[in-house]
């Protein structure tokens, strides 16, 4: 394969629909799959709304939006991904879920197709070993929200060949995003640095050093961050934050990565952040209100 021309995306949630969005704007034919038609339609609706906002803000022309929307098709079945040149898995940050998807989709793909994962923390080598094409498997970690963030981490597994890396790099370049190559260590570069900071902010809250509002204001104004760490945790999803901290703690065997008990408690309560309506802030009213 000389170049990637078509892209399948497994998972129509926040990350998956964002990946489909930028791929379609990049000129690729896109097939978007999820476990139900309703989820696919919800993802497509999000893409349409986000592209319309880009038109309104002058970031893209309406003709670009129309052409991109026409390039995206709903893939009701995994069979619909069989002719894609690149398939990107953007499922939940759970290794067993991802491996189950690979077991289902790999037999359907053409032999030369690339398979990628959008994992933010899991071992690329270990995930690749669960497929029939470890040499054609790679980590392509987009940042959230995908249409806004200009950075992507590329992560090779031990078996990933140069051809796979070069094709993936060319794909990202065509999307107009900046690439950094990360080694296959737990949480790679961004989350290896970011998540311990968020976890430490939760410890500061847990120990009563500061309130939710005080911690976020301190980091926005005191460190010039665009978003406070607890607000950012809610945006990422507290379940995802916990999962990444557990990967770091298990993979590096260092106590400094121990997830804060308060983070565990919020996840156990189902207070997962913005997507659940409550996290470190309560989003059910007109204005988010701190929950502690």
Catalytic residue set = 120, 141, 153, 191
Element spanning 4, H or E:
none
Whether the Cβ atoms of residue 268 and residue 259 lie closer than 8 Å to each other: no
User: By C-alpha distance, which of 275, 252, 272, 250 is closest to 263?
Assistant: 272
Residue 278 phi, psi dihedral angles, 5° rounding: -145, 140
Cα 32 from Cα 260, distance rounded (Å): 36
Token code pair at residue 237: 């999803």
If DSSP codes are grouped into helix, strand and coil, which group holds residue 8? strand
Strands 289-290 and 29-33: unpaired
H-assigned helices in 33-94: 37-56, 62-71
Token code pair at residue 54: 């880009």
Cα 284 from Cα 281, distance rounded (Å): 9
Q: Residue 81 pairs with which residues in a beta bridge?
A: none
Cα 248 from Cα 259, distance rounded (Å): 9
Cα 8 from Cα 87, distance rounded (Å): 4
Residue 249 phi, psi dihedral angles, 5° rounding: -65, -45
Cα 201 from Cα 244, distance rounded (Å): 15
Q: What are the Cα distances from residue 175, in Å, to 21, 28, 170, 290?
A: 10, 10, 9, 37
């Amino acid at each position: 394969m000389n170049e990637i021309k078509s892209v399948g995306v497994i998972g129509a949630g926040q990350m998956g629909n964002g990946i489909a969005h930028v791929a379609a704007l990049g000129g690729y034919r896109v097939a978007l799959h999820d476990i139900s038609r309703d989820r696919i339609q919800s993802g497509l609706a999000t893409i349409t709304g986000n592209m319309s906002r880009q038109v309104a803000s002058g970031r893209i022309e309406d003709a670009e939006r129309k052409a991109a929307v026409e390039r995206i098709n709903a893939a009701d079945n995994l069979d619909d991904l069989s002719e894609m040149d690149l398939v990107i898995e953007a499922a939940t940050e759970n290794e067993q879920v991802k491996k189950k998807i690979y077991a289902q989709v790999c037999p359907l793909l053409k032999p030369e197709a690339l398979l990628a994962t959008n994992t933010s923390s899991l071992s690329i080598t270990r995930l690749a070993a669960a497929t029939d094409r470890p040499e054609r498997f790679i980590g392509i970690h987009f940042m959230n929200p995908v249409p806004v963030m200009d950075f992507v981490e590329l992560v090779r597994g031990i078996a990933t060949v140069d051809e796979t890396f070069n094709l993936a790099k060319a794909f990202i370049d065509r999307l107009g995003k900046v690439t950094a190559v990360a080694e296959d260590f737990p949480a790679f570069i961004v989350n290896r640095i970011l998540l311990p900071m968020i976890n430490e902010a939760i410890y500061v809250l847990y120990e009563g050093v500061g309130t939710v509002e005080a911690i976020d204001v301190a980091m926005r104004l005191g460190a010039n961050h665009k978003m406070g760490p607890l607000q950012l945790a809610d945006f990422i999803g507290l379940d995802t934050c916990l999962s990444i901290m557990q990967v770091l703690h298990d993979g590096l065997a260092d106590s400094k990565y121990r997830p804060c008990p308060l983070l565990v408690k919020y996840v156990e309560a189902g207070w997962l952040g913005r997507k659940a309506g409550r996290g470190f802030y309560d989003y059910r009213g007109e204005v988010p209100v701190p929950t502690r």
